[in-house]
């Protein structure tokens, strides 16, 4: 029997992230015609058209105003009610801060096994799905199956292809009983963190600097390159610890794990903890003055040279290329 | 405040992970075992809360014999006592959470603090699962925590992609710690001496009435594919920069 997949979506002010479309595309590939999208908040109806285009056969929009502000216990309880109402046996969540908070709480309520931060999901036998998830920050790759009746997965952003399948996207009336006054953990404010404008975990290209940058003032070289490339800026850990850049830039085993198309490691030696966080990159480019730096062993392309000369030259070459395109 | 800190012992992040051929586990010879880095923030925060409000910090760790070492380290940092749930079984997140919840139920608690994620399985699940099993609220990936003991409430700041979320909740609750929450202290010599005399109670799964039944099963484990040898460019900065951009454009087709 085909899996009935519930894709649990984060939306802000009627906008969805790319990961939402990735999850719907994958769900449609695994179980064509059996994909239900779940969205929250008074503006959730506004996403109907785009969700249908990328694979939602049905849409459950919980439009009560209470769902405008996140509550882990309140939302998990609502997901559980929707699962029971539509009879889902597979749940997808985004492996974003939001999904990582909500998915395990929901798993506990449903008594379901959850595989977090998956990079691939395939059909297995007897309705079981088979997931790939990096562990040890990518130093090893595990293949996992879930043995509970309901199978839950969260998906790492920026990996799955987005496919238009133009489904019906019919709005389903599912009634959930919410007692929002009894919700316990409540978001009371959200504010910008400052620092990067493009989110690292969703960026196609990342320009990242290490101690070789010598000081915070030199990150403007990377900002200039990032601007030409439409890239996000990241860093190694010591550079964030020194306060040269915000903590949110820190990439690696104890920072962000990223998976861009191209990762530029500039003045970064390539310590094992840093490499762990970037191993999901399609291409790694190293710019370093030390030909023996371990980063060159992990890279696809490298320039041995002084970054203060090389980076402006790369920026210029990219600018020329873009001008020709 | 009675605070339970959940601590996992993991391979040092400098470990080069090798997969045991034909098995679903890693080769453990020569591994240096350390406290999960995020759990150090959890311990530090718990100690600071205790220093402010009084109470007790109890460290709980599930794992084989070697885990006692990790518990001793937390006692040397200043935790009051430890509980070691000793088992050689392979566990998944749910089973681990069931064990921790059983211990928490028996002990009682105002606050449970865990790391946001263990850097071995990278699951980021055990905190929220423990919370839901105990039917208490949670706040995860916390950068800042205020405890209002009079109102029995927490105000926490948590990290999202590019934004900070402020969450308010009553306690008892589960909090998971993110890097940035604090700067963990080092054990001092007097505390190391004192730690030797502190109690570490050993519990077993049978004693807690838990039979592990895994829901998430690893069926295969492999090392990531090697990248092909890099094309390394040397020489004039302007020329090598141009060559690099050409390669990214024409060969890799990513620009
Ligand atoms: C528990 C633990 C967890 C850790 N987690 C992380 C993590 O998540 N992420 C992380 O990044 N690190 C982490 N680290 C730190 C890690 O071990 C390294 O210390 C760190 O990654 C090194 O940062 P770096 O490459 O910027 O600096 P360095 O190692 O000092 O490298 C600087 C590089 O710049 C090059 N350079 C210098 N001048 C120039 C120039 N003019 N032009 C070109 N190149 C130049 C040098 O050749 C050198 O290779 C962790 C460490 C521990 C103990
Ligand atoms: N075996 C364990 N013993 C004690 N605490 C654990 C154990 N496993 C996980 N934890 C706690 O749960 C957090 C998240 O772990 P995980 O869900 O495995 O990523 C860790 O940082 C620990 O605080």
Q: Which ligand is nearest to the CA of B82?
A: 2
Domain presence at residue A298 = yes
Sequence ranges of the domains in chain B: 2-208, 226-254
Q: Which residues form the pocket of ligand 1, taking CB atoms under 6 Å from any ligand atom?
A: A 210-212, 236-239, 252-255, 267-269, 271, 273-274, 277, 288-290, 293, 306-308; B 13, 37
Cα dihedral A108, A110, A112, A118, rounded to 10, equals: -80
Its domain, for residue A107, covers: 5-182
DSSP β-bridge partners for residue B59: B5, B82
Indicate if ligand 2 lies below 6 Å from the C-beta of B119. Answer: no
Test A141 with B221 for CB contact under 8 angstroms. yes
Residue A202 has a pLDDT of: 84
User: How many Å lie between the centroid of ligand 1 and the Cα of residue A212?
Assistant: 8
User: How many Å lie between the centroid of ligand 1 and the Cα of residue B78?
Assistant: 31
Q: A106 CA to chain B: closest CA distance, Å? A: 8
Indicate if ligand 2 lies below 6 Å from the C-beta of B92. Answer: no
Indicate if ligand 2 lies below 6 Å from the C-beta of B46. Answer: no
């009634």: which residue's tokens? A175
A214 shares a domain with A254: yes
Q: Does B219 touch chain A (CB under 8 A)?
A: yes
Domain presence at residue A187 = no
Test B241 with A140 for CB contact under 8 angstroms. no
Residue pair B169/B137 in contact (Cβ under 8 Å)? The answer is: yes
Residue A1 has a pLDDT of: 63
d(CA A49, CA B166): 32
- Provide the pLDDT confidence category of residue A15 given band limits of 50, 70 and 90: confident
Percentage of the residues of chain B whose pLDDT score is greater than 70: 100
Q: A231 CA to chain B: closest CA distance, Å? A: 11
Exposed, middle or buried: residue A175 (CB in 10 Å: 0-12, 13-18, 19+)? exposed
Is the model's pLDDT at B33 over the cut of 60? yes
A265 shares a domain with A132: no
A257 shares a domain with A173: no
d(CA A246, CA A266): 17
Indicate if ligand 2 lies below 6 Å from the C-beta of B126. Answer: yes
CA nearest ligand 1 atom 29, residue:
A269
What value does the mean pLDDT of chain A take? Answer: 95
Domain presence at residue A196 = no
Last residue of a domain, one of A151, A182, A213: A182
User: How many Å lie between the centroid of ligand 1 and the Cα of residue A203?
Assistant: 22
Q: B236 CA to chain A: closest CA distance, Å? A: 8
Q: How many domains does one find in chain A?
A: 2
With left for phi above 0 and alpha for psi between -120 and 50, is residue A55 left, alpha or beta? Answer: left
Pick from B70, B122, B252, B206: which is nearest to A115 by CA?
B122
> What residues 43-82 of chain B have any CB closer than 8 A to a CB of chain A?
none
The CATH superfamily of B2-208 is HUPs (3.40.50.620)
- Chain A residues whose beta carbon lies within 8 Å of the beta carbon of residue B170: 184
Note the pLDDT tens digit of each residue in A259-288. 999 999 999 999 999 999 999 899 999 999
- Chain B residues whose beta carbon lies within 8 Å of the beta carbon of residue A290: none
- CATH at residue A70: 3.40.50.620
d(CA B249, CA A93): 34
- Chain B residues whose beta carbon lies within 8 Å of the beta carbon of residue A282: 252, 254
Test A136 with B141 for CB contact under 8 angstroms. no
Residue pair A57/A4 in contact (Cβ under 8 Å)? The answer is: no
d(CA A75, CA A86): 16
For Cα atoms A90, A94, A96, give the angle at the middle one, nearest 5 degrees: 150
Q: Which ligand is nearest to the CA of B90?
A: 2
User: How many Å lie between the centroid of ligand 1 and the Cα of residue A301?
Assistant: 19
- Chain B residues whose beta carbon lies within 8 Å of the beta carbon of residue A201: 161
What is this model's ipTM?
0.94
Mean pLDDT for the stretch of residues B26-37: 96
Note the pLDDT tens digit of each residue in A214-244. 999 999 999 999 999 999 999 999 999 999 9
A166 shares a domain with A41: yes
Domain presence at residue A200 = no
d(CA B200, CA A278): 39
Pick from B124, B94, B218: which is nearest to A130 by CA?
B218
d(CA B40, CA B183): 9
Is the model's pLDDT at A196 over the cut of 60? no
Chain centroid offset of residue A44 CA: 20
A234 shares a domain with A96: no
Note the pLDDT tens digit of each residue in B113-155. 999 999 999 999 999 999 999 999 999 999 999 999 999 999 9
- Provide the pLDDT confidence category of residue A194 given band limits of 50, 70 and 90: low
Report the residue of chain B nearest A279, measured CA to CA: B224
Test B234 with A101 for CB contact under 8 angstroms. no
Q: Using the atom order of ligand 1, give the atom closest to the CA of residue A137.
A: 8
Indicate if ligand 2 lies below 6 Å from the C-beta of B172. Answer: no
Residue A195 has a pLDDT of: 53
Indicate if ligand 2 lies below 6 Å from the C-beta of B61. Answer: yes
Domain presence at residue A191 = no
Test A191 with B164 for CB contact under 8 angstroms. yes
Mean pLDDT for the stretch of residues B70-93: 97
- Provide the pLDDT confidence category of residue A145 given band limits of 50, 70 and 90: very high
Query: Which of A247, A306, A321 has its CB closest to that of B249?
Result: A321
Report the residue of chain A nearest B222, measured CA to CA: A141
- Provide the pLDDT confidence category of residue B161 given band limits of 50, 70 and 90: confident
- Chain B residues whose beta carbon lies within 8 Å of the beta carbon of residue A138: 224
Size of interface A-B (CB pairs under 8 A): 267
Q: Does B31 touch chain A (CB under 8 A)?
A: no
Residue A197 has a pLDDT of: 62
Sequence ranges of the binding site of A for FAD: 211, 236-237, 267-274, 288
User: How many Å lie between the centroid of ligand 2 and the Cα of residue B10?
Assistant: 10
Cα dihedral B131, B136, B142, B148 sign: negative
Q: A305 CA to chain B: closest CA distance, Å? A: 7
- CATH at residue A301: 3.40.50.1220
Residue A199 has a pLDDT of: 83
Note the pLDDT tens digit of each residue in B208-244. 999 999 999 999 999 988 888 999 999 999 999 999 9
Global pTM value: 0.94
Domain presence at residue A190 = no
A115 shares a domain with A82: yes
Indicate if ligand 2 lies below 6 Å from the C-beta of B124. Answer: yes
Residues across chain B: 255
């Amino acid at each position: 029997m085909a899996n009935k997949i519930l894709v649990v979506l984060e939306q802000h002010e009627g906008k969805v992230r790319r990961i939402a479309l990735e999850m719907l595309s994958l769900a449609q590939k695994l179980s064509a015609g059996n994909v239900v999208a779940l969205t929250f908040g008074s503006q959730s109806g506004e996403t109907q058209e785009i969700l249908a285009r990328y694979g939602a056969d049905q849409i459950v929009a919980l439009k009560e105003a209470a769902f405008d502000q996140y509550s882990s216990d309140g939302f998990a309880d609502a997901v559980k009610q929707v699962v029971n109402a539509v009879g889902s046996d597979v749940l997808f969540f985004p492996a974003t801060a939001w999904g990582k908070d909500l998915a395990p709480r929901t798993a506990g309520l449903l008594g379901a096994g959850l595989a977090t931060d998956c990079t691939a999901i395939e059909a297995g036998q007897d309705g079981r799905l088979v997931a790939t998830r990096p562990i040890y920050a990518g130093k090893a790759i595990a293949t996992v199956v879930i043995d509970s009746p309901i199978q839950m997965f969260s998906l790492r952003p920026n990996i799955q292809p987005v496919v238009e399948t133009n489904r019906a996207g019919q709005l389903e009336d599912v009634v959930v009983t919410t007692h929002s006054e009894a919700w316990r953990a409540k978001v009371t404010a959200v504010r910008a963190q400052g620092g990067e404008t493009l989110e690292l975990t969703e960026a196609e290209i990342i320009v990242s600097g290490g101690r070789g940058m010598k000081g915070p003032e030199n990150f403007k070289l990377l900002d200039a390159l990032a601007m030409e490339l439409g890239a996000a800026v990241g860093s190694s850990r010591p550079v964030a610890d020194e306060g040269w850049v915000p903590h949110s830039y820190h990439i690696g085993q104890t920072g962000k794990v990223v998976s861009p198309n191209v990762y530029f490691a500039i003045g970064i030696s390539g310590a094992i903890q840093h490499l762990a966080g970037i191993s999901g990159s399609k291409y790694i480019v190293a710019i370093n003055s030390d030909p023996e730096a371990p980063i060159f062993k992990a890279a696809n392309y490298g320039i041995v040279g002084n970054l203060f000369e090389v980076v402006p030259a790369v920026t210029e070459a990219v600018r020329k290329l873009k001008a020709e395109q | 405040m009675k605070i339970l800190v959940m601590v996992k012992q993991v391979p040092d992040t400098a470990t080069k992970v090798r997969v045991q051929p034909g098995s679903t586990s890693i080769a453990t010879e020569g591994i240096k075992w350390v406290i999960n880095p995020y759990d150090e923030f959890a311990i530090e925060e718990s100690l600071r809360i205790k220093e402010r409000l009084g109470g007790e910090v109890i460290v709980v760790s599930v794992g084989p014999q070697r885990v006692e070492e990790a518990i001793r380290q937390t006692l040397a940092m200043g935790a009051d006592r430890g509980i070691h749930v000793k088992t050689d079984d392979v566990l998944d997140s749910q089973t681990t959470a069931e064990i921790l919840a059983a211990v928490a139920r028996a002990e009682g608690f105002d606050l449970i603090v865990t790391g946001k994620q263990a850097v071995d399985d990278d699951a980021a699940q055990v905190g929220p699962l423990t919370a839901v099993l105990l039917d208490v609220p949670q706040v995860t990936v916390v950068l800042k925590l205020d405890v209002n003991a009079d109102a029995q409430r927490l105000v926490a700041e948590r990290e999202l992609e590019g934004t900070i979320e402020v969450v308010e909740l009553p306690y008892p609750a589960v909090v998971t710690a993110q890097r940035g929450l604090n700067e963990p202290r080092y054990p001092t010599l007097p505390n190391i001496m004192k730690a030797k005399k502190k109690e570490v109670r050993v519990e077993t799964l049978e004693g807690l009435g838990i039979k592990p039944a895994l829901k998430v099963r690893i069926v295969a484990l492999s090392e990531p594919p090697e990248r092909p040898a890099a094309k390394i460019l040397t020489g004039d900065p302007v020329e090598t920069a141009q060559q690099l951009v050409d390669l990214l454009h024409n060969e890799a087709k990513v620009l």
